[in-house]
Amino acid sequence: MEWTREHIHGTVEQQREYFRSGKTLPVSRRIEMLKKLRSAVEEHRTELEDALRQDLGRHSTEAFFCDIGSTIMEINEIIRGLKKWAKPERHFSGLHCFPSLVTRVYKMPYGVTLIISPFNFPILLSLGVLAASISGGNTAVLKVSSKSKACSGMLQRLIADTFPEEYVTVVDGGHDIADLCLEERFDKIFYTGSPRVAVHVLEMAAKHLTPAALELGGETGNWCVIRKDADLKDAARKVAFFKMLNSGQICININQVAVAEEAVDEFIRELKAAFAGQIGEDAVANPEYPKLISEKAYETCAKEAEQYRERIVYGGYGDPETRRYAPTVIYPVQPDEPIVRHELFNPLLPVVPFRDEEADELMELIAKREHGLALYLFTRNKKWARKVMSSQQYGGGCINEVCLHMMVRGVPFNGTGHSGMGAYHGKWGFREFTHPSTVLTGSTRLNLPLREHPYARHEGIKRHMLQAFEK
């Protein structure tokens, strides 16, 4: 379908009319729609896996683990908790409001929402966010990525077969189509992508004072810090797994790993062994190994690797035909070099050595840069690790683990600063797509004149009672 300014405007107005009809408000209706979405994902699982294989070279197991299964888990969590989350809160108004003592906080939908999703997890980061929007009682225009064409086409068909377009619509196309969407007056925008594009999204949203949630990768990338006392074999195994996952195209992936000088040689040996053990001696020839999303992404990766050719200690090659580039370890790299000053989004892994006794200085350096979406620490010193995790600024992270924090039920997934704003997953997604409205129920009897003029005539008693009530 050819999307035009007029078509997009008509779609938004159609959804606004549908929202105003009140059909999206009943919680029972929202749960019904969420179950329909879950059934659609389960029914089209094979087609979704095939689309992920076409776009990203994903093995079916990785496709289910990262996108499809995670989407179903997200929808299930929302279905289980929605009745409780959506229930109005009841509060005591306070004696200063007497006799109007009951106040309720209603969790109200925003209205017509715009969801802009990325290519790297095209199912989860589209339908998972959509589930949050539906849970809040909204309608949704879902702008999918033009890079993951197979997945975007599959999402269009899945949504069109599941929901009426006045409720949920999928829009495809490039940046020009995204801009046409952003020109419209939405009630809430949720964008997942790069900090650079996020600035543009916020600028466009500001024209209508539209609230926006941003899930970004972090401008200077996510750090993994490995102390000398860490279990190096365990750390290497987990780092290798994560860096190969989706060929490094993950917003919470490790951008660079800082390793204590005392342990760096052993860690690199273990890392090489972990890569070879998990993907084989030639990752590029292994059909399980994912590919980069486009020729441009492959060329960017290969070009940057070439700049560090003399320091590549593992990998450093690829196949432009299949767009697979081997996991590549670059060592040593200093913390101020260009490769660790921007988000990589590929399988290159710079290793930054540091003196273990200067770990706190390293954390200060990291803190001075733009806040990452994730932070990973490997150490047996849990006291130090917890101190760092409770004092640094980042989205989320793990101690002696990678990535699994975003799969825990009941907790938020979010960023801060250049890694984003807002939060979602489960009840946090419901909160992100609703706004609280406070409503006091007034009484027509026994109203006291404390707040009313005249003040001077009864100043003493009025002031005394107000001071007592407003403590």
Residues with active-site annotation: 215, 251
- DSSP for residue 454: P
Distance CA 90, CA 87 (A): 9
Residue (of 422, 451, 431) closest to 105 by Cα position: 431
* Sequence-ordered list of residues with C-beta below 8 angstroms from that of 333, at least 6 positions apart, any chain: 256, 308, 311, 339, 340, 350, 351, 352
Residue 219: phi and psi, rounded to 5, are: -65, -40
Q: If we measure between CA atoms, which residue out of 87, 366, 330, 345 comes closest to residue 225?
A: 366
Query: Parallel, antiparallel, or unpaired for β 396-399 and 374-378?
Result: parallel
Q: What is the Cα–Cα distance from 409 to 165, expressed in whole angstroms?
A: 31
Residues 6+ apart with CB under 8 A from 445: 99
CA pair distance 24, 20, nearest whole angstrom:
9
The SS3 call for residue 314 is strand
- Helix, strand and coil percent figures for the chain, each rounded to 5: 50, 20, 35
**The two structure tokens encoding residue 85:** 């989350």
* Cα atoms in the Cβ-side hemisphere of radius 13 Å centred on 333: 27
What CA–CA distance (Å, rounded) separates 112 from 276?
Answer: 49
Q: Which two tokens stand for residue 66?
A: 């990262």
